[in-house]
Chains A and B, each alone.
Chain A
C-alpha cells in the first residue's frame, strides 16, 4: 500500500515542473523582466548577461549582480563595464504589462535597476530580450496548443461516442470521414486548411485561426480511438443490465460508458498538446501563423533560418531548448498517466 502510494507520489512529481512552466507562461508579464517589444538598438545579439557574486575588486556579494554594458568604440564589441554594478532585485517595478488582458501591472518577479540590463537568454537582432520573448511567445504557442487540442479532443470524442454508441449508418459515415482525414498527410492538411484563410491577417485573428485550424484537422484520430472504446464498453454486462432496467441512452452514456473513456482521454489529451503546439510552431516558422513583432515559439525558431544566427549566436537556440524541455515533460506526464490507467484497469 505504502509502496503504491510512494510510486504514485513519485510519478506525480513530474507534474510540478509542468505546472510551474504553465504558470510562468500564463503570466509572462510578471515572470519576464522586460516587455517583448522593447528594443535596444545599440545592443543587437548580445550574449546572455552574466550574473556575478564576486566583483572586480574580489569582494563577495551575497546578492548576485550584473555589470553595466558598454560598447567598445573601435571594435563595437559589447563588454562589461566593471565600474558600475547593478544588484539583482526581486519584485521590482518595471515596464507596464497586462494580466490576462484585463488588469495592468508593473511588478516583475526579478530584474535590475535601469540603466543595468539583465538579459538571461541574450538579445536578438533588435536588442530585444530573448528570455522575455520566449515567455510571451510561449503563452501564445502553448495556449494555441492546449485550445487546439481541446477542440480536437472534444469534437473527436463527441463524434467517436456517436459513432460507437449508435453504430450502423452514423458509424459507417463518420468512420469514412475519419479515413478521409487520415489519408491526407498531416502537413498538407494543415497547410490546405490554412490556405482557406487570407494570407495576411492581424495577430489576434491569426491566433484564433490557428487554434481553429489545428483543432479542425486533429479530430480524426481521437474519434477513432474513442469509438473503439465505446464499442467495447457497449457490450459489457453492466450496460446490458442497465438497459434491462430501462435506463435511457443518455443515462447509460453518462454513467456507464463515458467514465470508461476518461483515463484514455486524459492520456490522449496530454499527448495531443505537444502535437498541437508543434502545429503552431510549424505554421509560424513557415510564416503562415503569428507574425512579428508578436513573438511565438514558431517565429522565434524562424529566426534560426538566417545563416548568421544559426551558426554564430548559440543563445538564439534557448527558446527551442525550452520547447524541447516542455515536450519532454509532457511525454513524461503522458507515460505516467498511461501507467496509471493500466494499473487501474488491472
Chain B
C-alpha cells in the first residue's frame, strides 16, 4: 500500500516534469501562431500586435505556464487559436476516436500474438516456427508508414473499403458516424496497427513461453504424467505471464501515442492528424494537451505494469516487504 502511494507520488512528479519540459520545448520554438498573418499585406502590424496582446502569446514564460496550469484545473486545457475553442472540448472526442482504434488493435494483436507465440514455442525449431519467425522478421522490418500506405493501396485497388481519400487529407476529416459503417472505417487502421505491433508481441510471447517450457517444474509436471495441454495452461503459461504482464502495461501505456502515424496516413480522425496540424500552425496548447494526455497514459501504463507484476509474482512481494 505504501509502495503504491510512493509510486503514485513519483508518477505525479514525473508528470509535472514532463509538462514543464514540453512547455519549455514549445516555448523555445521560434515564431507563434500569428506569424502567418504577418505575411498578409492587408493586415497591419498593429492588428497582429493587438491580437498577440489579446491572446497573451508573448507574455513571459512563467505567466503562461501558470495560466496553463490554471486551465488544467478548470478543465479547458487552454485555448486553441486554430479552432477557436477550448482545447478540452476539441481534444476529448479525438482522444476517444484514437482509443477506439488502439484498444481494438491492441486487443486483436494480443490475442493473435498469444496464439501465434505459443504455437511457435511448441513447435520450436520446426518449419512452423521458422515460417512464423520469417513472417515476424518481415513485419518488423516494414515501417508503420509503409504498412499504412500498402494497405491503403490494397484497399483502393482490391476492395470496396473506404480508403478516406489520400495522404494527409484526413487532417480535416470529421469523425465517422457512430452507426453508419464504423466497422468498415475501422477495419483498415485497426489492421495496420495490429500488424505493426504484432511482431514484437509474438517474439516476446515466444521467448517467454520457451523459457517457461524449459523450466524444471514443467519437466517435472510432464514426468508426473499430467496431460500436455494441462501442463501448458496451468503450469507453463502462468510462469510465462510474468514477463508478459509488464509488456501488457507498456501496451496500455502506448494506447494514445502508438497510432499517430497510422492515423495520419489512413485518415482516422484521432489525435494524430490534429496534433500534426497544430504542430505546423504553432497551436501550442493543443500540442501540450495531446502530449500530456499521452504521457499520462504512458506513466499510468508503467504503473499498471508494476502493479500487475506485484499481484502476479509473490517473489517480488517478499523482496519489497
- Those of A167-216 within 8 Å (CB) of chain B: 176, 179-180, 182-188, 191-193, 195-199
Q: Bound complex: CA of A183 vs CA of B299, how far in Å?
A: 6
B140:A188 contact, CB within 8 angstroms: no
- Subset of 15 A-B contacts with CB under 8 Å: A185-B254, A188-B22, A191-B279, A192-B25, A192-B291, A281-B145, A286-B264, A310-B152, A310-B166, A317-B150, A320-B146, A323-B146, A324-B141, A328-B137, A331-B140
- Those of A260-286 within 8 Å (CB) of chain B: 274, 278, 281-282, 285-286
Q: Bound complex: CA of A248 vs CA of B306, how far in Å?
A: 39
A180:B21 contact, CB within 8 angstroms: yes
Contact of A310 among B14, B31, B140, B156 (CB under 8 A): B156
What's the nearest-Cβ distance from chain B to residue A119, in Å?
A: 22
Chain A residue contacts of B251, Cβ below 8 A: none
Chain B residue contacts of A306, Cβ below 8 A: 166-167
A180:B138 contact, CB within 8 angstroms: no
B260 beta carbon closer than 8 Å to chain A = yes
A250 beta carbon closer than 8 Å to chain B = no
B17:A310 contact, CB within 8 angstroms: no
B30 beta carbon closer than 8 Å to chain A = yes
B17:A180 contact, CB within 8 angstroms: yes
Chain B residue contacts of A324, Cβ below 8 A: 138, 141-143, 146
Q: Bound complex: CA of A192 vs CA of B279, how far in Å?
A: 8
Chain A residue contacts of B298, Cβ below 8 A: 182-185
Contact of A323 among B30, B143, B156 (CB under 8 A): B143
> Which residues does B use to contact A, with CB under 8 Å?
14-15, 17-18, 21-22, 25-26, 28-31, 137-138, 140-143, 145-146, 149-150, 152-153, 156-157, 165-168, 254, 256-257, 260-261, 264, 275-276, 279-280, 282, 287, 290-291, 294-295, 298-299
Chain A residue contacts of B282, Cβ below 8 A: 195
Chain B, residue nearest A307 (CB): B166
Contact of B295 among A183, A198, A325, A331 (CB under 8 A): A183
A184:B166 contact, CB within 8 angstroms: no
Q: Bound complex: CA of A281 vs CA of B144, how far in Å?
A: 11
Given A192-B287, A307-B165, A307-B166, decide whether A187 and B153 contact each other with a Cβ distance below 8 A.
no
What's the nearest-Cβ distance from chain B to residue A217, in Å?
A: 11
Q: Bound complex: CA of A320 vs CA of B157, how far in Å?
A: 19
Chain B, residue nearest A328 (CB): B141
A304 beta carbon closer than 8 Å to chain B = yes
Chain B, residue nearest A193 (CB): B25
A151 beta carbon closer than 8 Å to chain B = no
A196:B25 contact, CB within 8 angstroms: yes
A310:B26 contact, CB within 8 angstroms: no
A83 beta carbon closer than 8 Å to chain B = no
Chain A residue contacts of B149, Cβ below 8 A: 301, 304-305, 310, 320
Q: Bound complex: CA of A96 vs CA of B142, how far in Å?
A: 34
A187:B141 contact, CB within 8 angstroms: no
What's the nearest-Cβ distance from chain A to residue B191, in Å?
A: 17
A305:B168 contact, CB within 8 angstroms: yes
What's the nearest-Cβ distance from chain A to residue B198, in Å?
A: 15
Q: Bound complex: CA of A188 vs CA of B30, how far in Å?
A: 17
Contact of A185 among B14, B31, B257 (CB under 8 A): B257
Q: A193-B25, A195-B25, A195-B29 are in contact. List 9 more A-B contacts (CB 8 A).
A: A184-B291, A188-B260, A188-B294, A196-B29, A301-B146, A305-B149, A306-B166, A310-B166, A320-B149
What's the nearest-Cβ distance from chain B to residue A325, in Å?
A: 8
Chain B residue contacts of A199, Cβ below 8 A: 31, 280
Contact of B291 among A179, A188, A285, A307 (CB under 8 A): A188
